[in-house]
Amino acid sequence: MRFPRASGVLLHPTSLPGPHGSGDFGPGAYHFVDWLVSAGQKLWQILPLGGIGPGNSPYMSSSAFAGNVLLIDLGDLATRGWLQAEDLTPAEGLRDDRVAYGEVVPYRMERLTRAAARFASTASSEDLSEFRAFCVAQASWLGDYALFMAVGESHGWAAWSDWPAPLAKREPAALEAAVTEHAERIAFWEFCQWCFFRQWLALKAYANERGVDIIGDAPIFIALQSAEVWARQELFELDSSGRPTAVAGVPPDAFSDTGQHWGNPLYRWRAHEAEGYAWWVERIRRTFELVDIVRIDHFRGFAAYWEIPAFERTAINGHWVPGPGAALFEAIAHALGPMPIIAEDLGVITPDVVALRKRFSFPGMAILQFAFGGSSANAYLPHNHDPDSVVYAGTHDNNTARGWWDVIAPPEQTHVREYFGIDGHDIAWDMIRATCASVADTAVHQLQDILGLTGESRMNFPGKGEGFWEWRFTWGQVQPEHAQRLAHLCMLYRRDGTPMI
């Protein structure tokens, strides 16, 4: 599916300014939408909206369907009377420049617990009706999620395979008893999801009304410690005790000499095929309820994925295994029709991956940081870009443009200088200009590059489990010329909505 020529900004909501330790769906998010409009941007790309997992990664969520409750705007809960003014006093250790998860998580979770209790005792009939309608509308996943989270809490967040066997194996009597025992916390998790969805959909509507579409992210794999793996064990490569027999990752690459050992359980694709890929259809359907465009992460894994024996500690000794291929996307298209999907086709890309992407007309991705230091045939060099693609200087997995420039080898720097005819003193904006000028239909820029930040502001480093996903900005860093300069480039290179003559 071809997209209109446009430009956007990559920024996860956790990076937004705000008083409660991390970005959320509060006033800072609405102000950011207004800033996007002032900068001539038509797209806001975010990372997965699910809860964080090991290393605080949004790609290891406790659910493929639930939202990250840490993104709930506490101020809105106070406005509704479910929190008191004193509840909003920031705690010691909360930072404006980083998400200090060790302090943020207990601070926010305690206040969500207070809000849920006050809602339970004081909610209006209108709020109760809205809440109950939400629970009915999301019943296909919400009950399993809320029970999973409540039971997980009661067992100190131990792996679900280590829960008492009747619960781990989901025996009906054990599930019924758990629902009764944990009724209060089940209601808490349902309340949090209602707040998340209500606030996010209001923010999305605000953006859409102002001409900004949301690009969301759907990770190919989900976390072992997730409601869906526990609820649908037959769909994953698990042994009889619920532990994975093989896990996901990628072979050695530019990021790591030992590859990336993600640890996600692999899909039992024959089981998915037997049910007509219904689980995946529902997942994509639900994702499109939250965003306008879906970027499917690690698209190459649908052609073939890197299978690592569960006992291996690195990804070196894995091997390629064929994925579901076209059958999965045919099932999705049959159920949902043509959908605006971006294929993250990075990594070891073989002809079958390219053929799969092109068969369904999914735009691929081009990364400028991967373009230099080799021959003129490099596909990521702007003169080789495909119009049906999305171009980035770098994504959340890459360094900032300034950080990248500071560490690349002199021959690579020389190539950049010669190619663009620059001296490199303003490299971030040189890269932004190149993405805007590209023939690629869509250009997306990290906010870190717009602000000209160094590698210390990098969002993630693949293969490193700690110390990332924490970056935040403040409005004091954003100057009028940032929006003016970006808007001018979008006008100059027809990313402002001007039709072709």
| Count of CB atoms situated within 10 Å of the CB of 387 | 13
Catalytic residue check, 406: no
In angstroms, what is the C-alpha Rg of the chain?
23
Listed in sequence order, the residues at least 6 apart from 386 whose beta carbon sits closer than 8 Å to its beta carbon are 364, 366, 439, 440
Task: List the structure tokens of 358.
Answer: 């092109």
273 is catalytic: no
For the chain, what percentages of helix, strand and coil (3-state, to nearest 5) are there? 45, 10, 40
The one-letter amino acid code at 312 reads: E
φ and ψ of 383, to 5 deg: -70, -10
DSSP secondary structure letters along 250-298: E-S-SS-TT-EEEEEEPB-HHHHHHTTTHHHHHHHHHHHHH-SEEEETT
State both tokens at 275.
């049910």
- The residue from 237, 397, 412, 496 that is catalytic is 397
CB 331 within 8 A of CB 285: no
The CA dihedral of 54, 271, 322, 48, to the nearest 10 degrees, is: -30
3-state secondary structure (DSSP) of residue 311: coil
What sign does the CA torsion over 182, 185, 191, 196 have? negative
Active site residue 397: yes
- Would you say how long the chain is, in residues? 501
Whole-angstrom distance, CA of residue 470 vs CA of residue 101: 8
Residue 366, classed as helix, strand or coil, is: strand
Q: Among residues 73, 297, 307, 470, which one is catalytic?
A: 297
In sequence order, the 6+-apart residues with CB closer than 8 A to the CB of 428 are 393, 400, 401, 402, 449, 450, 452, 453
Give residues with Cβ within 8 angstroms of 178, minimum separation 6: 147, 150, 151, 167
Distances (CA, A) of 42 to 5, 49, 192, 474, 486: 9, 20, 30, 22, 12
- Active-site residue (options: 73, 344, 441, 470): 344
Closest C-alpha to 195, from 82, 340, 334, 326 = 82
Burial of 338 by CB count in 10 Å (0-12 exposed, 13-18 middle, 19+ buried)? exposed
Distance CA 380, CA 345 (A): 12
- Tokens for 123, please give them: 């909610």
Q: Which residues are catalytic?
A: 297, 344, 397
